[in-house]
Amino acid sequence: MTKAKHETLIDRCRESGLRITGQRRVILEVLDAASDHPDVEELHRRVGEIEPGVNIATVYRTMNKLAEHDLIERHMFDDGRLRYEPAPEEHHDHFIDVETGEVIEFMSDEIERLQEEIARQHGFEIVSHKLELYVKRRKTD
């Protein structure tokens, strides 16, 4: 069952007062279906498979609009390209497999707690954070 999503991106767009155009419908569909963290070029490619002719500038503009409304999250990993994922319900961090480029999500309450603690020790409070572990699979083969 790929459709265990509580609320679809289209619904959330409506709630935010964004117009649902033909091209947006496709973009949102692609985003909802994506379990990875595609960049704009990849999104545009996937959109084009469903409905050709959508301009890549439209994809850029749509992603910016969605990010403004906190409906998606933007990431910039070390490849220097902006990547996106539908706004997660739970915060998480990322492994990036340096050999395959694959992005895997993870979450550690303990690390989160330590971050808060260290920030506090330095007189800061955390606004947001980014933890990326660039990894490779442990050799077992």
DSSP 106: E
The least CB distance from residue 141 to DNA, in Å, is 33
Question: Is residue 24 a contact point for DNA (CB under 7 A)?
Answer: yes
Stretch of 12-20, 89-97, 101-109, 120-128 lying at the interface with DNA (CB under 7 A): 12-20
Applying CB under 8 A, the residues found at the interface with a copy of itself are 76, 78, 80, 95, 97-98, 104, 106, 108, 110-111, 114-115, 118-120, 122-138, 140
CA nearest to 71, candidates 14, 12, 128, 18: 12
Q: How far is the C-alpha of 30 from the C-alpha of 27, rounded, in Å?
A: 5
- Rounded CA-CA distance 124/106 in Å is 25
Per residue, the 3-state secondary structure of 57-70, as one string, reads HHHHHHHHHHHHCC
* Residue 141 structure tokens: 């083969």
Determine, following the binding rule CB under 7 A, whether residue 18 of this chain makes contact with DNA: yes
Comparison of 65 and 115: residue with beta carbon closer to DNA: 65
Q: How far apart are CA 104 and CA 95, in angstroms?
A: 5
d(CA 118, CA 21): 46
Q: Which is nearer to a copy of itself, 39 or 46 (CB)?
A: 39
Q: Is 11 known to sit in a ligand binding site?
A: no
- Number of residues forming the site for DNA (CB under 7 A): 24
119 binds, among a copy of itself, DNA, none (CB under 5 to 8 A by kind): a copy of itself
Residues that bind DNA in the complex, under the rule CB under 7 A: 14, 18-24, 39-41, 53-58, 60-62, 64-65, 81-82
